[in-house]
Amino acid sequence: MKAIKHALLTAVTLCALLAIHAPALAEGSYEANVLIVLAKEESGAIDPALRNLSALSRPPFNAFKTMELLDRPKLALEPGGQSELVLPNKRKLRIELVQVLPNGRLRVKVSIHRPDQGDYLPLLHVVASENDPFFIVGQAYRDGTLVIGVRISSAS
């Protein structure tokens, strides 16, 4: 009986320690505001909705002289859950909100999947500030390149 009590106490203590040291999941609801941009190196127009995004005026994005905003979908993000979006090239963008860090930054997993093929972008880990976009670039589409921006914010 004494051995059972000791084993039970040890198990409870280990569970408590794991709970303390395990990464906390995000609390509350969030949404991902996604920008889907068709970028080209040829001279042309920059969509007015993209002009104030400073990241797009720095390398490597400043190599693109034409940027057309194709879509602005929003995805609901629940802690530990995944949200998906079909991109114009029929690949799927998957976003998972993993954790809100003590400093308020967001740990996110992002991947892009090709239907019936291997993953294009198997898994990208990002630590982002709320409302500060991050970008994924490199997929060919309609004689240009898809640039995908993701900005995560608290759901209102």
CB 58 within 8 Å of CB 81: no
pLDDT in tens, 109-134: 998 888 777 656 678 899 999 999 99
CB 94 within 8 A of CB 106: no
Query: Residues 83-116: pLDDT tens digits?
Result: 999 999 999 999 999 988 899 899 999 988 887 7
Mean pLDDT over each residue of the chain, to the nearest integer: 82
pTM over 0.85: no
Q: How far apart are CA 105 and CA 126, in angstroms?
A: 10
DSSP assignment of 74-111 equals EEEE-TT-EEEEE-TTS-EEEEEEEEE-TTS-EEEEEE
60 upstream amide cis, omega within 30 of 0: yes
The region, left, alpha or beta by phi > 0 then psi within -120 to 50, assigned to residue 11 is: alpha
CB 97 within 8 A of CB 30: yes
